[in-house]
Structure 1
């Protein structure tokens, strides 16, 4: 924040520009690469592919765990049910999209998430404007 943040923004922009240049160079050499795991395979071989796939899978698992914990805790505070029941309810809400193989179904879930965020934003803005 402050002056340090002002100095870090161009530095981070330069790093992003260089990373984009490297990715473009790699994709020129491997035009069939569709994911970071494919790029890692092109650069580091099978080991790189496995490492990147493992890291991405671990990241998704940890994000899902974070959502379950945050949602369960917030639900428990709002409703007052036992923690285990709240975590079970959150798992029933969060896990089904993870099991979808068809992108059409996942797109519908994504649209519902976007609409939900828009409704919540509208409610917050409406409440904020009416309490002024």
Structure 2
């Protein structure tokens, strides 16, 4: 897992070039600010979880601070975020797989026909669903390693297209594009969307007191 001082590998990392195209080179200041805020809030989260042995996640922190109403409010916001982010990733996977395998379809008894993006969204959902039942993220260590490998392969492919296939590096970009700053800020923030799993990750560690090293180091 990447630290909060560097963008999350995968979609977040690959979205940075588009963010630069939208906001300009000076928008990188926003990336630095987002990184600093996420690092600081990660440290605060560790402090909150260390305040009581009963704190296992965000709802417990809400209950510790504001009672039952706090638990309900935090749970509502957290589950809404996780639900919407999951939908976003499923749509992204459906779009990408549909481009890789155009024209793919599946007929279920002649009654229901799934094709294109809809088919791949269903297949990805079925494949990913069992991982949501795990209560210890340590089991996903090998899956995480494969994700890092995939990011390396993608970066290599981009460099290959630029150098070997003759695409080149002619794009100069702009220094600042004010109209694109909201989009750039949204993409930079998306790079650091790992906070939702921090409590589970911390609880899965054998040495929880070293969680701060996860935040500040690779």
TM-score by length of 2: 0.45
The structure 1 residue matched to 2:100, chosen from 78, 81, 86, is 78
Deviation of the 1:86 alpha carbon: 1.8
Change (3 A) 1:125 1:92: farther
Partner residue of 1:66?
88
Change (3 A) 1:34 1:89: closer
Change (3 A) 1:91 1:5: closer
Partner residue of 1:93?
127
Confirm or deny that 1:121 pairs with 2:143.
no
Partner residue of 2:180?
none
Q: 2-side partners of 1:99 and 1:117: how far apart? A: 25
3-state secondary structure, aligned to 1:101? coil
Cα-Cα RMSD = 3.4
Q: Give the 5 Å matches for 1:5-84.
A: 16=37, 23=44, 27=48, 30-32=51-53, 33=55, 35-80=57-102, 81=104, 82-83=115-116, 84=118
Partner residue of 2:137?
103
Gaps of 5+ in 2: 1-22, 105-114, 169-218
Q: Which has the higher helix share?
A: 1
In the alignment, is the contact (CA less than 8 A) between 1:40 and 1:52 conserved in 2?
Answer: yes
Q: 1-side partners of 2:142 and 2:75: how far apart? A: 26
Q: 2-side partners of 1:105 and 1:96: how far apart? A: 12
Report which of the two structures shows the higher radius of gyration computed on alpha carbons: 1
Say which is worse superposed, 51-60 or 76-85, in terms of deviation.
76-85
In the alignment, is the contact (CA less than 8 A) between 1:76 and 1:86 conserved in 2?
Answer: yes
Q: 2-side partners of 1:74 and 1:119: how far apart? A: 16
Aligned residue pair count: 123
Q: 2-side partners of 1:45 and 1:34: how far apart? A: 15
TM-score by length of 1: 0.68
